[in-house]
Amino acid sequence: MERFFEEFSAEKGKEKWMEEVLKDLKGKTYDRIWWKTYEGFDLEPYYKAADLEGIIIPDDCPGEFPYQRSAKPVAEENKWSVCQEISQRDPGDAKKAVADAVKGGAECIDLKLNCELSSGKTGCGCKCGCGPEYTRGTVINTKDDLTGITASLESAGINIDAGVASKEIFEMIEPKLGELKGSIDNDPLKELALNGEFAKGEQKRFEEAEYIFNKCSEYKDFKGMTVSGVHFHDAGATIVQKIAYMLSTAVYYKERIAENKSFADFNRNIGLSYGVGQYYLLEIAGLRALRTLWSNIASAYGDKDCAPDIHAVTGLFNKTVYDPYVNMLRTTTEAMSAAVGGCGSMTVLPYNVCISETDSFADRIARNTQLILKNEAKFDRFVDPAKGSYFIEKATDLIAKEAWALFNKIESEGGIFESLKKGNIQKDLAELKKKRLSNFSMRRDNLVGTNFVPNYSEKSVCPEIRKDIEQKLDIFGCELYSSGGVKIEKVKLYRISEEFESLRKLTEKFSEKKDRPVSAFMATLGNLTMRKARASFSMGYLAAGGFYIIDNNGFKDASEAADEALRSGAEIIVICSSDEEYPAVAPIIASKVKAADPKKVVVLAGYPKEIIDDLKKAGVDEFIHLKSDSLETIRNIQSKIGITE
């Protein structure tokens, strides 16, 4: 806008704003710039008061029903507990890491036990495959392994992610429950979702869950159950889905293991674990909506005084192997969402979680992310600063309505357990995965360093998965996965960047065998603006496949471009010019390159429809442009070069 309103006027509507917006859109319709979310609704770029008419916004104070603004009273401001994940495989290393974390400012420890123990399966039979982001965790073979870790807590709390081993781990700490504060991840339906069946059978597992829950109810500072949405987040679930699944899980646990308890007593003994994702404003709204809907359920049970205890965890879904330092930026915005959204405690995962076991530097950065938000940005001083933001109020309302509708649908079909057994949730997540992967491959969704501005000179770090300390399963004292019973399709965890990373690693391995990088030569000529723009686009596009980029300032004609391309030894030749010049130059470059070496892959930046057939006849193999599928194109190029799995 040339003059962004010389005079502002207080108007309820946004007619004058729309006049300016439509001028800038230059003939395009307003809905072209709406955010089409995965949640099932669209969001406009901005809202005014009139857009909130008809929306019921609770006039509540922080810490008061329905807790939309905060579960904490005003006197506590926006304080949250700084948690540090401890996942070192060696229990001795974990003990030292706990001491360092507490000394460094952590108020709570998230002790993640290794996948063999938490799933009850060894090797690649476990729930997670072989990625370090899923196999990470501490080995606990004896009571001394665990008590050595808890001895370093001082006054800090501890949350234990034990999975299938919840009962065995609980028995180790039970004598000290009066001294501990925190919780145990006693979440049978999470285990079912990840493992596909109950390790000890349905009845025994829920008997254990009820035993742990009842024992912990005797202690005000240690919770006996967690309702987790983190695994759904890491399976690509939307914010709406995460909330609905968590609510339905909570209702199932209330009815199955705490039927004779009031909802207030049930609420005091459970925690909600919420996976925070990349959509900054929506995640703030999501946490506000979760508290509101939790109050709906509490009201249905006749207890309004039930503020939820929400623990936020930065999820794995958008974390990457390549350019891992960008993960620090991702976890920072996620931590900001969690803090502004009013979580009660928070864990920021280390930036190298997808590469190797964490180290002191990665732990310190993760911890300090929160400490900076608290001590320098003062995020802990301001309760619900999003209150009054038209955009966030609108998003909160939309998320709450969609999540409540999905929750009621799940309940009408028998609840979360039945939905998992029928495969409804798995089907919904699988369909969503297809949509997410398509958008990511088409570069509608981007991750810096992976499918957007990747560093083509970067080499992947081989994941380090420690197996030097064996996890023994005799801790269970019984045979696992032998009782038959319920078996379901697993909820499959994935990171959105995985397919690009796999293709890039294939290229790297091929380059190592050849002892030289597989290269893409930019044959730039003609219109300066167009050739530079298309070369820049092509470099980012192909670097995502691990191809080394040879950039050029431009050539005087097609013949020179072809000669230099052949001289470079590059396997891929990318023609970059304007559509107007392609008919004259592209066939010459393509035919000359193919005549000299038919194995060369000729790519054209753009898609000039009128001459596509002629270009293909001349030797152009692939076309890269805004509407081309980058994963498919990279696979085609690799196949032509001879790069296979």
Residue that is last in its domain, among 475, 508, 541: 475
**Of 236, 588, 276, whose CA–CA distance to 436 is shortest?**
236
The one-character DSSP state at 64 is S
Per-residue pLDDT, averaged over 453-475, amounts to 81
Which pLDDT belongs to residue 466?
66
Contact 254, 303 (CB under 8 A): no
Q: Which residue, chain included where needed, has tokens 């969402």?
A: 337
Contact 343, 287 (CB under 8 A): yes
What is the tens place of the pLDDT at every residue in 274-319? 999 999 999 999 999 999 999 999 999 999 889 999 999 999 999 9
Instruction: Let me know whether 267 and 375 are in one domain.
Output: yes
Which pLDDT belongs to residue 49?
86
**Of 51, 15, 65, whose CA–CA distance to 394 is shortest?**
51
- Higher-pLDDT residue of 290 and 387 is 290
Instruction: Let me know whether 125 and 259 are in one domain.
Output: yes
Instruction: Let me know whether 280 and 220 are in one domain.
Output: yes
Instruction: Let me know whether 329 and 383 are in one domain.
Output: yes
> Which residues lie closer than 8 Å to 413 by C-beta, 6 or more apart?
419, 422, 424
Backbone angles phi, psi at 220, to 5 degrees: -75, -20
Query: Could you tell me if residue 487 is inside a domain?
Result: no
**Of 349, 361, 369, whose CA–CA distance to 85 is shortest?**
349
3-class secondary structure, 83: strand
CA dihedral 347, 350, 354, 357 (to 10 degrees): -110
Instruction: Let me know whether 532 and 450 are in one domain.
Output: no
How far CA 471 is from CA of 116, 357, 359, 496, in Å, comes to: 7, 16, 21, 30
What is the pTM assigned to this prediction? 0.94
3-class secondary structure, 314: strand
Q: Which residue, chain included where needed, has tokens 């994935």?
A: 494
**Of 432, 315, 314, 427, whose CA–CA distance to 370 is shortest?**
314
Instruction: Let me know whether 80 and 191 are in one domain.
Output: yes
Would strands 225-228 and 270-276 be described as parallel, antiparallel, or unpaired? parallel
Q: pLDDT-derived band of residue 459, with 50, 70 and 90 as boundaries?
A: confident
Instruction: Let me know whether 197 and 239 are in one domain.
Output: yes
Query: Could you tell me if residue 605 is inside a domain?
Result: yes
How far CA 42 is from CA of 19, 134, 244, 282, in Å, comes to: 21, 33, 19, 12
The one-character DSSP state at 177 is T
Instruction: Let me know whether 503 and 393 are in one domain.
Output: no
Sequence letter at residue 313:
V
Query: Could you tell me if residue 317 is inside a domain?
Result: yes
Query: Could you tell me if residue 415 is inside a domain?
Result: yes
Which pLDDT belongs to residue 468?
77
Backbone angles phi, psi at 109, to 5 degrees: -115, 130
Which pLDDT belongs to residue 19?
86
Instruction: Let me know whether 178 and 106 are in one domain.
Output: yes
CB atoms within 10 A of CB 619: 20
Instruction: Let me know whether 471 and 503 are in one domain.
Output: no
Look at residue 133 and tell me whether its pLDDT is greater than 80.
yes
Strand partners, 42: 36
**Of 201, 73, 159, 135, whose CA–CA distance to 484 is shortest?**
201
Query: Could you tell me if residue 55 is inside a domain?
Result: no
Q: Which residue, chain included where needed, has tokens 């039979």?
A: 125
Sequence letter at residue 430:
A
The domain that holds 589 is classified in CATH as 3.40.50.280
Residue 542 tokens, joined: 């192909």
Q: Residue 368, class by beta-carbon neighbours within 10 Å (0-12 exposed, 13-18 middle, 19+ buried)?
A: middle
Look at residue 462 and tell me whether its pLDDT is greater than 70.
no
What is the tens place of the pLDDT at every residue in 201-248? 999 999 999 999 999 999 989 999 999 999 999 999 999 999 999 999
Query: Could you tell me if residue 217 is inside a domain?
Result: yes
What is the tens place of the pLDDT at every residue in 525-579? 999 999 999 999 999 999 999 999 999 999 999 999 999 999 999 999 999 999 9
Instruction: Let me know whether 383 and 445 are in one domain.
Output: yes
How far CA 328 is from CA of 185, 218, 281, 287, 331, in Å, comes to: 26, 40, 18, 22, 5
Contact 104, 98 (CB under 8 A): no
Q: CA angle, corner 36, sides to 427 and 354, nearest 5?
A: 60
Residue 110 tokens, joined: 């998230």
Domains: count for the chain: 2
Instruction: Let me know whether 434 and 512 are in one domain.
Output: no
H helical segments located in 463-609: 498-514, 528-543, 558-568, 582-596
Would strands 519-524 and 222-223 be described as parallel, antiparallel, or unpaired? unpaired
Which pLDDT belongs to residue 44?
94
What is the tens place of the pLDDT at every residue in 317-331? 999 999 999 999 999
Query: Could you tell me if residue 52 is inside a domain?
Result: no
What is the tens place of the pLDDT at every residue in 252-267? 999 999 999 999 999 9
The one-character DSSP state at 452 is B
3-class secondary structure, 192: helix
Strand partners, 549: 520
CB atoms within 10 A of CB 438: 13
- Taking the C-alpha atoms of residue 216 and residue 567, their distance in angstroms, rounded to an integer, is 73
The one-character DSSP state at 598 is T
Residue 54 tokens, joined: 């008809």
The one-character DSSP state at 309 is -
Residue that is last in its domain, among 441, 475, 509: 475
Which pLDDT belongs to residue 128?
44
Dump strand ranges (E) for 194-329: 222-223, 225-228, 270-276, 310-314
- Higher-pLDDT residue of 463 and 180 is 180
Quote the longest CA-to-CA distance of the chain: 84
3-class secondary structure, 549: strand
Q: pLDDT-derived band of residue 123, with 50, 70 and 90 as boundaries?
A: low
Which pLDDT belongs to residue 464?
61
Does a cis peptide bond (omega within 30 degrees of 0) precede residue 324?
no
- Which domain does 348 fall in, by range? 74-454+461-475
- Taking the C-alpha atoms of residue 366 and residue 85, their distance in angstroms, rounded to an integer, is 9
- Taking the C-alpha atoms of residue 454 and residue 434, their distance in angstroms, rounded to an integer, is 23
Q: Which residue, chain included where needed, has tokens 């304007």?
A: 578
Per-residue pLDDT, averaged over 452-461, amounts to 86
The one-character DSSP state at 115 is H
* Percent of the chain whose predicted confidence (pLDDT) is above 90: 84
Query: Could you tell me if residue 186 is inside a domain?
Result: yes
Would strands 42-43 and 35-36 be described as parallel, antiparallel, or unpaired? antiparallel
What is the tens place of the pLDDT at every residue in 578-634? 999 999 999 999 999 999 999 999 999 999 999 999 999 999 999 999 999 999 999
- Taking the C-alpha atoms of residue 406 and residue 244, their distance in angstroms, rounded to an integer, is 6
Per-residue pLDDT, averaged over 478-497, amounts to 93
Dump strand ranges (E) for 306-381: 310-314, 345-347
The domain that holds 403 is classified in CATH as 3.20.20.240
Residue 41 tokens, joined: 């609704």
Residue 122 tokens, joined: 């060894």
What is the tens place of the pLDDT at every residue in 417-442? 999 999 999 999 999 999 999 999 99
Look at residue 54 and tell me whether its pLDDT is greater than 90.
no
Q: CA angle, corner 329, sides to 230 and 335, nearest 5?
A: 45
Strand partners, 36: 42
Write down the mean pLDDT value for the chain. Answer: 94
> Which residues lie closer than 8 Å to 267 by C-beta, 6 or more apart?
298, 303, 306, 307, 308
Q: pLDDT-derived band of residue 131, with 50, 70 and 90 as boundaries?
A: confident
